[in-house]
Structure 1
Amino acid sequence: MRKIKWALIAIVVLIVGGFLHYTLPRHDIVRVVNTYQERQELGDWTRIFWSKPDDLSAGLINRDVQFIQTVLPNGKPRVFRNEDTGWSWPPYFKFDTANLLTQAEDLKSTADAPKWAVVTFYGWRNEWLTVFPNAISIKPVAGPDVTVIPWFNIFFFVFLLVAFLFLRAVWLQFRERTIDPALEEVEERWDAVEDRVAERRGRLSRWLDTWRSKKR
């Protein structure tokens, strides 16, 4: 049972951790090299990795998607999609795809004269599933060594910790005031029932002993 318990906890942690890792914003310092638009096929189940800014997206098999090609400071490529999130999940309320594309175009540069920018994004990159992270914003920075502090994530996890401690305190108080007294009352009643049963068994045993003595 203990192994099953820890296995279930590990599964829950993986699911919640994966959900948060996909949804929460992250930051990459990159150099923009190109932007383009390409028609993408929306698979049956991989559709969840693409935005749904309007009702028509649910019925489309494919659609045109904007992409931003970038290079990390270590030379590795990083490709972002540029889609509005609208009012759907995750709740970034992104409606400025055209503006973001313009900003990315303005930040294009070469390796000889690089312009560095920080891209805020969510999602994963998976080449096998043709999945791309979605760029939320792009801003120029002084260089590739700039430190970006993830303030939103810090505040989010602090909020989660405070909420957890608050709910834990509420639960402990509820348990102390309501559940524990109820359990103690049930336990006392159960003990009283056991005492009555034991007493009656004793009486029955003594009554049977009187009959046994007469038989002798």
Structure 2
Amino acid sequence: MIKFIKRICVSFVVLLHLFLALVVDYSFPHYASVQITGGDVKRMDKDGIIDAKNPADGPVRDVYFIYAKDAQNDQKVMAYRNEDTAWGFPFYFKFNSADIQAMAQGFANSDNNVTIKYYGYRISMLNEFRNVISIKDSGTNTSWPIASYVLYFILFISLIIWIRKINKAFAPKVENLETKKEAL
């Protein structure tokens, strides 16, 4: 029974750390070197893009989209959402999506490669897009942050510490033989 409880505790700690690693990976910035091919504005509600199959049934908002192709591989195309994060999670406090869209349209008219800073995942089945944080010309200095790697390292160390604590808590207790003899 003790081994079963120990396995449950270790499984819980591992799953918790995997979840935290996914949160870090989702919410911290990533970079992509791309060539912008176009942009679009679509009206959306809580159910996604509004069209004939999905009529509006609540409050709606306009969402900008930026289309691009990979700078090294022309066959690899990507779509990015360009929406303000406002005061919500993740806390980028982004209020300039219209300005970023204007910059993207300017880059679409040229053949320059740009560096897109984004967060999130592109999940086609869930109609989920990466959200653009900023766009810069590839010729400018781009800093590649290490904060996410530092957090991955901290999570890994935390995982090791917690597993060691669990193993120590469930280790069989060895009594001192001298105290046992004195008790007899």
| TM-score for both structures, normalised by structure 2 | 0.68
Give the number of the structure whose alpha-carbon radius of gyration is greater: 1
What is the aligned partner in structure 1 of residue 120 from structure 2? 123
Given the alignment of the two structures, is residue 8 of structure 1 paired with residue 12 of structure 2, yes or no? Answer: yes
In structure 1, distance between residues paired with 2:15 and 2:152 = 20
Higher fraction of helix: 1
Q: Given residue 32 of structure 1, which amino acid in structure 2 is its aligned partner?
A: I
In structure 2, distance between residues paired with 1:92 and 1:62 = 22
Deviation at 1:18, TM superposition (A): 0.9
- Structure 2 unaligned residues grouped into runs of 5+: 49-56, 158-178
- Structure 1 unaligned residues grouped into runs of 5+: 47-58, 166-190, 199-216
**Residue identity (%):** 27
What is the aligned partner in structure 2 of residue 66 from structure 1? 64
Q: Given residue 26 of structure 1, which amino acid in structure 2 is its aligned partner?
A: H
Q: Which whole-Å deviations, capped at 9, do the CAs of 1:45-84 have from their partners, x for residues lacking one?
A: x8xxxxxxxxxxxx94543211000111212111111111
Deviation at 1:102, TM superposition (A): 1.0
In structure 2, distance between residues paired with 1:17 and 1:159 = 8
Distance 1:31 1:155, change over 3 A: same
The answer to whether the 8 A contact 1:27-1:148 is kept is: no
Higher fraction of strand: 2
Q: Given residue 68 of structure 1, which amino acid in structure 2 is its aligned partner?
A: I
User: Bigger relative contact order, structure 1 or 2, given CA contacts below 8 A and separation 6+?
Assistant: 2
Distance 1:127 1:41, change over 3 A: farther
Q: CA RMSD in A?
A: 3.6
